[in-house]
Structure 1
């Protein structure tokens, strides 16, 4: 571990917390990252003070209590056996014409992937799934989503049939039952808003860095 003099602590905390690859994460995650590489006395107190004083984090702090989705148990035995997907948006259109994010999470490892999309059409979603997920990690056994028309369209069903994937969806009575993906969506939007606060039209540029921070 590198021992950090007091005068250099702000530089370290800025790199770990404020940098786009830091993602303006909370105290616990920021402290864990600091402790992976650095040491100085009173680390927790300094990290708490830094996060509390961060204007970007304060600007994004939620004033109301968030509703939590009910916990669901999905038995899985290996990575990318079962994945969940959701669409975030519409967001502010970027300079590259993107307005949506396709979020895909693995139920076993909790590994997230996210892809900027120009629209929410089923063809666009299917292309991102095939190129970004199936061609990289292989086809999952199960693909889970909500009941959005983008995910229930014929093209998605055909892709699942071709790859031998079982398509499942949330029920009408529990549309927020997929807590893992819901949490990922909230975290992703919060982190993107913080790192692109000065240039919101460039949020898609920061997407990969935010995933690295997550």
Structure 2
């Protein structure tokens, strides 16, 4: 909350002093949690770094959704999702567990086999998405494997949006 909302909450609880709004604003500015979780409406503009793709099926984002409760009728509890950054085409398969082999087979069969060799694949830092099998495939086909930062998964925004949409369907 911002300082004015904090001052109103304090006022509703029955307290008042002359510099309440000023003190509340100063408190919020010094509060680390308020700054992290605060609204970023009045943040000064920064340079945008658009992460795009110059042609279809060149760059893919990959993520895992799950575990999903209750599991599907076939026992599958996880969904492996990829999205093309140019066309926003989504490929998804369900699995009982997403192992390194499942990820490697998915890349070979669903990405390379259907759409050709991509230039790059972007994943989060999941152990099942970053392993020696994935590295071998990337070396074999000369694919650049990148990771989104651990502290900011929104960097891989297209795949996060796709999984957020998929999660909405799974919950219904």
1:171 maps to 149
User: 1:117 aligned to 2:95?
Assistant: yes
- The residue aligned with 1:84 is 61
| 1:185 Cα deviation from its structure 2 partner | 0.6
5+ long unaligned stretches in structure 2 = 1-38, 40-47
SS of the aligned residue for 1:176 comes to helix
Match of 1:209 in 2: none
TM-score scaled by length of structure 2: 0.67
The aligned runs of 1:24-103 (5 Å cut-off) are 73-92=50-69, 93-103=71-81
Residue 138 of structure 2 aligns to a residue whose secondary structure is helix
Whether the aligned pair in 1 keeps the contact of 2:57 and 2:115 (CA below 8 Å) is: yes
SS at match of 2:56: coil
Are residue 193 (structure 1) and residue 171 (structure 2) matched? yes
- Structure 1: state its 5+ residue gaps: 1-66, 195-214
**Number of matched pairs:** 125
Q: Give the drift of 1:97.
A: 2.3
CA drift at 1:75 = 3.6
User: If the length of structure 1 is used for normalisation, what is the TM-score?
Assistant: 0.55
Could you list the structure 1 runs, at least 4 aligned residues long, displaced by more than 6 angstroms after superposition. Answer: none
Report the Cα distance in structure 1 between the residues aligned to 2:108 and 2:59, rounded to whole angstroms: 15
Aligned equivalents of 1:136, 1:181: Cα separation in 2: 19
RMSD of Structure 2 on Structure 1 (CA): 1.8
Deviation of residue 95 (structure 1)? 2.2
Report if the CA contact (8 A) 2:117-2:143 is conserved.
yes
Contact kept in structure 1, 2:124 and 2:150, CA below 8 Å: no
Check whether the contact 2:68–2:170 (CA below 8 A) recurs between aligned residues: no
The residue aligned with 1:106 is 84
Tell me the distance in 2 between the aligned counterparts of 1:183 and 1:72.
18
Higher relative contact order (CA 8 A, sep 6+): 1
1:72 is displaced (CA, Å) by 5.5
Larger-Rg structure: 2
